[in-house]
Amino acid sequence: MNLTGNPDEVVAEFTKRVTAGTLTTGLTTFGIDRVREVLRLPVTIVPMSAIYLGVPAKKLSAPRRRPAMSVTFRDRFGNSW
């Protein structure tokens, strides 16, 4: 996939792949050493961002979600709607 093209086309391609059952996730600081090891990155390179693409090994069930009002606050933490 060409990520240097028109941003709208890149987003459209990602959307198409996600709706086709492909999952994406971002890289956080968790596991940087493992990423560095797997990709054989030199110590002078710090991985800051990556997009992993994959297909789920099994069909995932819908996540259980709490009502938004029970986990969101107004103006400051703890100030319920």
Q: Return the domain boundaries, the chain.
A: 15-56
Distance CA 78, CA 81 (A): 9
Do the Cβ atoms of 25 and 52 come closer than 8 Å? Answer: yes
Distance CA 8, CA 15 (A): 10
pLDDT in tens, 2-53: 555 677 777 777 777 767 766 555 555 667 788 888 889 888 887 777 776 7
Predicted local confidence at residue 21, as pLDDT:
66
Query: Which DSSP category does 6 fall into?
Result: -
Q: Which residues contact 36 (CB under 8 A, 6 or more apart)?
A: 43, 45, 47
